[in-house]
Amino acid sequence: MAIECVTTTPTRSDDPKAAAVVFDSSVLRHETNIPTEFVWPEHEKPGSYAAPECPVPVIDLAAFRSGDPAAVAETLKLVNEACKKHGFFLVVNHGVDPDRISDAIRHMDRFFDLPLSSKEKALRKVGESCGYASSFTGRFSAKLPWKETLSFRYSAQKECSHIVEEYFQESLGQDFAHIGLVYQKYSNEMSKLALEIMEVLGMGLGVNRKHFSDFFQENDSVMRLNYCPPCQKPEITLGTGPHCDPTSLTILHQDNSVNGLQVCVDNEWRSVSPSPNAFVVNIGDTFMALSNGIYKSCLHRAVVNSTITRKSMAFFLCPHEDKVVTPPPELVDSTHPRLYPDFKWPTLLEFTQKHYRSDTDTLLSFSAWLQQNQTPHATHP
């Protein structure tokens, strides 16, 4: 039976009425009933329905790098089809050192197993996107995700080459210098991989191969650790609710043994199972705007289970704050008019942090919000 992908109006971000339900998984996981704030509405409950596998293409980066015309053509064909439909694909032979990946996933426990009082030393501040959040209690008033997250900023600028290590030391203390180095090294690899994928997307869209990789050269991105403890009632809650990523590109590592990511394709939830040597890559809203709507940022969610903690690591590629998000001229013409206004990423980020919970309409709602809040002389499509 196909389950329709339905989303409702998002609860406002940083809702002052939001009760400060504390998500202490060490406590909650043993309670028979879960707090109502974590129970999703009937039409959004995942139920015990086993989502069929989503047919996402596997992109072999080694083949693309070889420069062999047939291999490059096949890569671009697969990427184009996927990104025009649902925006998801897998990447293999990516060149990321497996030790970097295993170090990063293993060190998640080092942080999330800390007592809540220690984790709260890195508590995310209202209106900011980085720090520790326990299911966004105090930010949303309902439909709370069954997860703890730790998000931190990564910058590819040379003068910021230790930004991740410094974040861990400053927020958690010298004892966390090593874990900071683990995620600094992992984030460096993610940034390098993201720039290579941008070359593939540039060629796929028929623009200069370096257009988007140059645009993101000095990216100012977000690294996010998702930690979803077992839930006694996984059929009525969600690790991450239905949303489109507002960022540009997401490179996701799912813990090998634990399923959870689901993508809405043809109005049906379909599973993207973990694949040991592959990263899941998806287009975000900002790249959908950069491609003038040709590549799609699509609805996805993460379900939880009743037996094992689900861990995932998401690298969210974002442009430097000075970059204007506007599609290359090749992607705009009389038959393909501008779909979204020019904007800078920090403005969309602020919208998602202070005014709007990311869902399937974020970009259109953001465009309307921009028009209401910008002076009349601003450039509009």
Ligand X SMILES: C=C1C[C@]23C[C@H]1CC[C@H]2[C@]1(C)CCC[C@@](C)(C(=O)O)[C@H]1[C@@H]3C(=O)O
110 is catalytic: no
Instruction: Return the number of the residue (141 or 312) whose C-beta is nearest Fe ion.
Output: 312
Between CA 355 and CA 9 the distance in angstroms is 13
Exactly one of 155, 254, 358, 360 binds ligand X (CB under 6 A); that residue is 358
Q: Which residue, 145 or 204, has its beta carbon nearer to Fe ion?
A: 145
- Binding of residue 245 to Fe ion (CB under 5 A): yes
Q: Between 148 and 167, how does the x/- string for binding to ligand X read (CB under 6 A)? A: -x------------------
Helix/strand/coil for 315 = strand
Euclidean distance between CA atoms 319 and 344, whole angstroms:
8
Q: Which two tokens stand for residue 273?
A: 């199972």
In the set 106, 310, 338, 357, the catalytic residue is 310
**Token reading at 177:** 């210098």
Residue 222 binding: pick among ligand X, Fe ion, ligand AKG, none (C-beta 5-8 Å cut-off by kind): ligand X
Q: Does 246 bind ligand X (CB under 6 A)?
A: yes
Residue 189 or 245 with smaller CB distance to ligand AKG? 245
Nearer to Fe ion, 249 or 331 (CB): 249
Give CA–CA dist 311/53, Å, rounded.
20
- Residue 285 as a binder of Fe ion (CB under 5 A): the answer is no
- Residues in the site for ligand AKG, rule: CB under 6 A? 224, 226, 240, 245, 252, 254, 260-261, 300, 302, 312, 314
Binds ligand X by CB under 6 A, chosen from 245, 254, 255, 299: 245
Residue 283: CB minimum distance to ligand AKG, A: 12
Cβ neighbours for 241, distance < 8 A, ≥ 6 positions apart:
7, 40, 44, 143, 145, 301
Q: Which is nearer to ligand AKG, 311 or 323 (CB)?
A: 311
Q: Which is nearer to Fe ion, 168 or 296 (CB)?
A: 296
| Neighbour count for residue 6 (Cβ, 10 Å) | 14
CA distance 282 to 352: 18
CA proximity to 204, closest of 364, 89, 94: 89
CA angle 124, 19, 315 (to 5 degrees): 30
Residue 173: CA count within 13 A, CB half-sphere: 6
∠ CA 59-64-66, rounded to 5°: 140
Pairing of strands 88-92, 58-60: parallel
Rounded least distance, CB 284 to ligand X, Å: 7
Selected binder of ligand X within 59, 222, 252, 264 (CB under 6 A) = 222
First to last CA, the chain: 42
44 binds ligand X (CB under 6 A): no
State residue 141 phi and psi, 5-degree precision. Answer: -95, -10
- Three-state SS for 244? coil
Q: Could you tell me which of 224, 261, 91 has the C-alpha nearest to residue 148?
A: 224
Q: How far is the CB of 87 from ligand AKG (least distance, A)?
A: 12
Q: How far is the CB of 236 from ligand X (least distance, A)?
A: 17
Q: How far is the CB of 359 from ligand AKG (least distance, A)?
A: 12
Name the residues that contact ligand X, by CB under 6 A: 129, 145, 149, 222, 224, 240, 243, 245-247, 316, 349, 352-353, 357-358
Catalytic residues: 310
Name the residues that contact Fe ion, by CB under 5 A: 245
